[in-house]
Amino acid sequence: MPHPAEIEEFNERIRRAVSGNPPVERRIWVTSLSRCLRKTALSIYLNTYSPSKSWEARIGSALHGWLGEVVKGAEFEVPVEYELRDGWKLVGRVDAVKGPYVLEFKFMGFEKKDRDSPRVKKNHDLEHAEPSKEWVEQINAYMGMLEKERGYIYIFDRNGLEFRVFEVAFDEGLFRRFIKRAERVIEAVEELERGRFPTWISTVGNKKWVCRSCPFRPICGAIDRKWLVEEE
């Protein structure tokens, strides 16, 4: 007797995992769509994506955990999903949701290197802190996925945990453009599955510095970013 479709699909996953050829996870993390879409596509295709490996991310998640423990009064670490096409999902984890508001917590280490400089630069200290474009588009994406109209980005000074709060109103156009990025990643993964390299997709904006710390540098250096190899 044939098994139900869900069981057959699960069995196929086991077979592919055992044969060392696990299926492509049809999930795209919100946080992976702000820097390089080619990197996101390659990470999904090669099954290497991990949303938070850097030491800063680890400190951030420890502090988020602490905040959730001591502050309470909100839902913390809320998983979110948004259906894309053909079983693909945009996924993420919102730092907190309080009633109709989405909250994101950012912990910054202000170094105050040029304390004596007459010009105080952005993010020199908490007083001059500003949410980055990436943070705004990510909280906006969470608002779109959760159908919320307003969010707040909290910026904490890691030394002492003083904080400032920045309000963000939902921007439908920005959300649509963000979803378009996810759709381009899907097309790029499909192209990789057909055995072609998606040269038409790369960093979001001209961010050469993103490439310098990317594990796929040798691949892009061999294909269309020769300067990456020349720099080594």
Residue 148 touches ligand SF4, criterion: CB under 6 A: no
Contact region with ligand SF4 (CB under 6 A), list: 116-124, 158-166, 191-199, 207-215: 207-215
**By three-state DSSP, how is residue 169 classified?**
strand
CA angle 217, 208, 214 (to 5 degrees): 30
- The answer to whether the CB of 204 falls within 8 A of the CB of 217 is no
Environment class of 114 (CB within 10 Å of its CB; exposed 0-12, middle 13-18, buried 19+): exposed
Question: Can you tell me which residue has the tokens 């307003």?
Answer: 150
Binder of ligand SF4 out of 66, 203, 222, 232 (CB under 6 A): 203
If the CB atoms of residues 38 and 181 are measured against ligand SF4, the closer one turns out to be 38
Binder of ligand SF4 out of 142, 169, 202, 232 (CB under 6 A): 202
Binder of ligand SF4 out of 217, 222, 226, 227 (CB under 6 A): 217
Binder of ligand SF4 out of 30, 97, 168, 214 (CB under 6 A): 214
b (16+ CB within 10 A) / e for 23-37: eeeebbbbbbbbbbb
Residue 197 touches ligand SF4, criterion: CB under 6 A: no
Residue 210 touches ligand SF4, criterion: CB under 6 A: yes
Contact region with ligand SF4 (CB under 6 A), list: 51-59, 155-163, 189-197, 214-222: 214-222
- How far is the C-alpha of 180 from the C-alpha of 173, rounded, in Å? 11
Which residues lie closer than 8 Å to 5 by C-beta, 6 or more apart?
Answer: none
- Give me the least distance between CB of 23 and ligand SF4, in Å please: 22
Which residues lie closer than 8 Å to 112 by C-beta, 6 or more apart?
Answer: 124, 125
- How far is the C-alpha of 207 from the C-alpha of 119, rounded, in Å? 26
Residue 192 touches ligand SF4, criterion: CB under 6 A: no
> Residues 29-68 vs ligand SF4: string with x where CB under 6 A?
-------x-xx--x--------------------------
If the CB atoms of residues 32 and 202 are measured against ligand SF4, the closer one turns out to be 202
The site for ligand SF4 (CB under 6 A) is made up of: 36, 38-39, 42, 202-203, 210-211, 214, 216-217, 220
